[in-house]
Amino acid sequence: MRAALWLMALFAVAAASALFAGSNPGTVTLFWAPYRVDLSLNLVLLVLLVIFVVLHLALRAISATLNLPHEARRWRLQQKERAVYAALLDSLSHLVAGRFIRARKSAELVVSLEESVSSSSESLPYAGRLRAVTHLLAAESAHALQDKLVRDAHFRQALQHASHRDAQDVCDGVQLRAARWALDERDASAALEWLNHLPQGASRRTVALRLRFKAARLAGQSRQALEVARLLTKHRAFSESAGRSISRGLAIELLGSAHDPVQLQRAWEALDGTQQQMPDVAMEASARLLMLEGEAALARQWLLPVWTTMTTSGGGALAPAQRVRLVRVLEQSFGEGDAAPDSTWLARIESAQMANPREAVLQYLAGVSCMRLRLWGKAQQLLKQSLSLLQDNGLKRDAWRALAEMAEQRQDMVAATEAYRQALKLPD
């Protein structure tokens, strides 16, 4: 369609020119004493057009001739840029393919090509970023080959060029790679130091948080690892189940690092509400507090949410092993000196046992509580009822031992001997 329009326009111009030239009687007279020259107007116009075209072409030829040195320099720079791009692409290709020696050589070739461009009074607008990225590629290749001397040399060059104004965006990447290399060498302190040098925005990126999490775990800093795990879960770097499992493990590790009740209470307060309500975490904290000779009442207070969860859901919210451990920790708290169950906890245990008469662990706990209160008859009845329902051999053994102790209190040595015999029959 466009060609047809151009053809029609050309015919129209030709027709108009023919009409103008064919019926144009005008003349142009030139006086050059003693001569007089008469020329047709059409001829004069044609000569002027030819002169204009010739002058235009001559000026363009002169301009092209004068621009030849500049064009030659531009062509040489373009060829060098293409060589730089090709070498950079080769370095990346060899690096991802595992050919680390070739990748380093290609990266060093990029550096030499860029230096040749700079030495020829030319400069690339992205020279700083190019040098930083190229040295980083060479350092990464040397790190894969465990050549620390070459790696550190290229890393210093990359960090120096990344500090320029046009390469600030590369500086974060260089520091992140340094942190990753430190983690590969199991140097957690160096990795954390590099991560602490990052700007605030870069330090909250997912890749930086993952590195900080690994470094904190390697350094044994459970509290910092727990805080980073919260952020990673919030940013959806971990799934909900994985984040919960990781937080539970870190919380237990943090509680286990406490060496006195004060440290343990501070570690407990460092946990958020969700982590404090995790059954394993609460039971670990309570057991640790009792082991460190802390307040038994405080230990039972930490266990109250877990107890509520078990009693309100009929035990279905807790695994059998968790129910057994909860009873163990409560039994231990009741047996600490004068830490016998108070009226509030005794009412909780009795109401839970009556509401769930088939729950063996609750019957066992109620029997132990009655035994601590010297209610021998009720304790003996509850413990005997729990024996037929208990699945845990450890609780069964303790129940038989408790029955033996109460039999000794009654001077019934036959019953005590039989109870001890039943306890010894149970496997560990």
3-state secondary structure 97-120: CCCHHHHHHHHHHHHHHHHHHHHC
At 38 the three-state DSSP class reads: strand
The confidence score (pLDDT) of residue 342 equals 67
10 Å Cβ neighbour count for 149? 8
Q: Which residues of 367-376 are buried (b: 16+ CB within 10 A; e: fewer)?
A: bbbbbbeeee
Contact 178, 140 (CB under 8 A): no
The confidence score (pLDDT) of residue 54 equals 92
Q: Distances from the Cα of 273 to the Cαs of 237, 268, 278, 305, in angstroms?
A: 21, 10, 9, 11
The confidence score (pLDDT) of residue 339 equals 47
Alpha-carbon gap, residue 254 to 271, rounded angstroms:
9
Token pair of 205 as six digits: 């990126």
Q: Which residues of 334-360 are buried (b: 16+ CB within 10 A; e: fewer)?
A: beeeebbbeeebbebbeebbeebeebb
The confidence score (pLDDT) of residue 56 equals 92
The confidence score (pLDDT) of residue 17 equals 67
- Residues with pLDDT less than 70, the chain: 14, 16-24, 120-122, 165-168, 313-316, 335-342, 428
Please state the domain extents for the chain: 75-162
Contact 396, 426 (CB under 8 A): yes
Contact 264, 255 (CB under 8 A): yes
Sign of the dihedral defined by the CA atoms of residues 55, 59, 60, 65, in that order:
positive
Token pair of 400 as six digits: 């038989």
Alpha-carbon gap, residue 250 to 216, rounded angstroms:
11
